[in-house]
């Protein structure tokens, strides 16, 4: 993103930096296209803690051609994708595919789907969940939930599909509201070996800790606080003690893992059958998992996607009690995954 021109950065700051303008753009979009929206049926939400394979799973689903999802070509006009498409199509620059900033081999271009709908939640209810030091669970007001339904339909209209696909890790903060409002939706929660995922988070935290002013603003606009200079952990459950470790330590990220996935495991266990955890390691080595996911989503069982294991760093030592807690949560998620995919 540091390759963005001055004009690119100017428009990002102008369009994304103001909640007032964001609401105005959405009002313009919804009033202009209200009679043309596609009916969104059986949406799919992919969410979890970062570095769990959420992007890979979302891309595999998007590649089936069954779903509409926001892409980089919608930036920065994500609050009005159809209106923005009219403006940007006349001045669209060719931007060649390149590796994203994470350094993990994921290639992005204008057509790459991405977690951009969080801008909607920030504009309409950011004060409810964006704290000074953490991101908090929140209950979405009915009015905002109805607006998001319209928003999904607007994205579907732009991409001429009737199913919306979202990859947004922050949705774990509002799972109760989303699953209640959209009983026909399916929620997929990728998870990885906890120590491996915690180590990957720590590596990315160090990578993103030194960022330019524009990069920091960009992450704040998108509410991407998973790691780096803008890091704010999820504080989901009150059943565990507050995180006391240093973000430069593996124990900190393993504690974050436990906080998030302990809460998710409880929500999945007590929630409806459309909440499904997906073990990423099992997805990589067992071709039947992808077929079962397609079956659950009622989409053609396309060819097996070439899911690959992510970073394979040598595991570092960490707190034995934390590792024991994480292992118990992981095993619970594995069992729930087998149950929900059966």
Nearest to 259 by CA among 200, 319, 320, 198: 198
pLDDT value, residue 241: 63
- Rounded distance between C-alpha atoms, residue 206 and residue 267, angstroms: 31
In tens, the pLDDT along 86-133 reads 887 655 554 555 554 544 555 554 567 887 999 999 999 999 999 999
Calpha distance 40→37 (Å, rounded): 9
257 is written with which tokens?
């893992």
Cβ contact 274:186 at 8 Å: yes
Distance CA 34, CA 36 (A): 6
What stretch of H or E contains 330?
helix 320-341
Residues of the chain with pLDDT under 50: 94, 100, 102-103, 109
Does pTM top 0.75 for this prediction? yes
Please tell me the predicted confidence (pLDDT) of residue 185: 96
What are 29-49's pLDDT values in tens digits? 999 987 776 778 899 999 999
Q: Does residue 1 form part of some domain? A: no
CB atoms within 10 A of CB 270: 8
Three-state SS for 98-132 is EECCCCCCCEECCCCECCCCHHHHHHHHHHHHECC
Residue 130 domain flag: yes
pLDDT at residue 110, rounded to an integer: 58
Residue 239 in domain: yes
Pairing of strands 44-46, 165-167: parallel
The number of distinct structural domains making up the chain is 1
Is residue 329, in this structure, part of any structural domain at all?
yes
Residue 94: CATH number of its domain = 3.40.50
In a domain, residue 64? The reply is yes
State residue 210's pLDDT score: 85
């Amino acid at each position: 993103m540091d390759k963005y021109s001055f004009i690119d950065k100017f428009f990002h700051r102008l369009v994304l930096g103001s909640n007032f303008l964001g609401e105005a753009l959405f009002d313009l979009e919804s009033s202009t296209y209200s009679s043309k929206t596609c009916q969104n049926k059986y949406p799919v939400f992919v969410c979890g803690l970062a570095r769990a394979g959420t992007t890979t799973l979302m891309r595999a689903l998007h590649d089936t051609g069954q779903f509409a999802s926001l892409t980089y070509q919608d930036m920065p006009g994500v609050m009005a994708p159809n209106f923005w498409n009219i403006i940007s199509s006349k001045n669209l620059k060719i931007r060649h595919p390149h590796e994203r900033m994470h350094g993990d081999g994921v290639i992005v271009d204008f057509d790459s789907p991405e977690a951009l709908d969080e801008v909607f939640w920030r504009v309409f209810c950011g004060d409810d969940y964006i704290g000074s030091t953490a991101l908090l669970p929140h209950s979405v007001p009915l009015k905002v939930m109805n607006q998001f339904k319209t928003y999904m339909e607007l994205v579907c209209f732009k991409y001429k599909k009737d199913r919306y696909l979202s990859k947004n890790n922050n949705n774990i903060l509002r799972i109760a509201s989303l699953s209640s409002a959209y009983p026909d939706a399916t929620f997929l929660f990728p998870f990885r070996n906890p120590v491996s995922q915690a180590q990957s988070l720590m590596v990315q935290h160090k990578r993103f800790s030194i960022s330019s002013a524009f990069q920091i603003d960009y992450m704040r606009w998108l509410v991407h606080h998973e790691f780096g200079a803008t890091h704010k952990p999820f504080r989901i459950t009150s059943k565990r003690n507050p995180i006391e470790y240093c973000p430069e330590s593996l124990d900190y990220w393993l504690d974050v893992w436990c906080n998030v996935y302990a809460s998710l495991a409880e929500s999945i266990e007590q929630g409806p059958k459309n909440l499904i955890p997906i073990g990423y390691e099992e997805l990589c080595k067992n071709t039947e998992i992808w077929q079962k996911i397609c079956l659950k989503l009622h989409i053609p069982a396309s060819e097996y996607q070439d899911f690959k294991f992510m970073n394979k760093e040598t595991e570092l030592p960490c707190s034995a009690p934390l590792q024991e807690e994480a292992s118990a949560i992981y095993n619970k998620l594995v069992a729930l995954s087998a149950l929900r995919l059966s």
